[in-house]
Amino acid sequence: MFLFSDSVLVFVKLSAQINEFQNRSIQTEDPILCKIPNTIRANHEKEYEPEIIAIGPYHWNGDHLGQINPRPKHVEDMKLKFLNDLCKAVADNNGVTKEDILKNITTAVQEKAFDVQKKYYESSFDMSSDDFVKMLILDESFIVTFFIKQKIPMNFMQNARCSLKRDLLLFENQILFFILETIFGSCFSSLSEYNTL
């Protein structure tokens, strides 16, 4: 026969378990953006590598980019164009210079860069802190502008468009949502403002 115990005793035991759980090594500083393990990647390397666009630090040097579609320089230029378009549109809408907007974005991202770097499992990528901030701004501004415009530039060939869509869904082409929010928030005070792009 099953006997019910005293509710106070159950409360005390659960409370102790919760305290123990909170004191364990589960920390918010733990990395959350990981790479595909080598055991899974083995013999399928190409399926996990971006073809034309690198987002985030794991493939930022892009040594392999352009092997399928030889346009990595064009894509990096496109990131710069999208950042410029974003800054210009927001500046024009607010009566300030695009340099002011870029400075706002840079300051906001730089304040969070250290926390961002801790979120990547392999935070030992060969990148200076300035390059890391620059990469965050270019990649995240590209994503913000890309989703606002909701179109792929016409000068992309059809196979490159497919590759771009595929690359944006890759596990290792990862970005942190709060940096997207930071850039978006640095540019737009409300959701209705973003239609200016």
Reported as a single tens digit per residue, the pLDDT across 65-86 is 555 444 456 778 889 999 999 9
Query: pLDDT value at position 196?
Result: 52
Q: Lowest-pLDDT range, 66-80, 82-96, 122-136?
A: 66-80
Identify the band that residue 137 occupies on the pLDDT scale cut at 50, 70 and 90: very high
Confidence check: pLDDT of 3 > 80: no
Verdict on whether the full-model pTM lies above 0.75: no
Confidence check: pLDDT of 166 > 70: yes
Averaged pLDDT of the chain? 78
Query: pLDDT value at position 59?
Result: 77
Report, as an integer, the average pLDDT of 14-27.
Answer: 74
User: Running DSSP on this structure, what letter comes out for residue 196?
Assistant: G
Query: pLDDT value at position 158?
Result: 63
How many CB atoms are closer than 10 A to CB 3? 4
**Residue ranges of the alpha helices (H) in 35-176?**
38-41, 72-94, 98-119, 129-149, 158-168
H-helix or E-strand spanning residue 10? helix 7-23
Report, as an integer, the average pLDDT of 164-170.
Answer: 84
Burial-class residue 154 by CB neighbours within 10 Å (0-12, 13-18, 19+).
Answer: exposed
What is the distance between the alpha carbons of residues 180 and 141, in angstroms, rounded to a whole number? Answer: 8
Query: pLDDT value at position 64?
Result: 54
What digits encode the pLDDT tens for the residues 36-51?
A: 888 888 888 888 888 8
Q: Lowest-pLDDT range, 67-76, 116-125, 129-138?
A: 67-76
More confident residue, 197 or 188: 188
Give me the residues paired with residue 120 across strands.
Answer: 33
Residue 130 has phi, psi (to 5 degrees) of: -65, -40
More confident residue, 161 or 68: 161
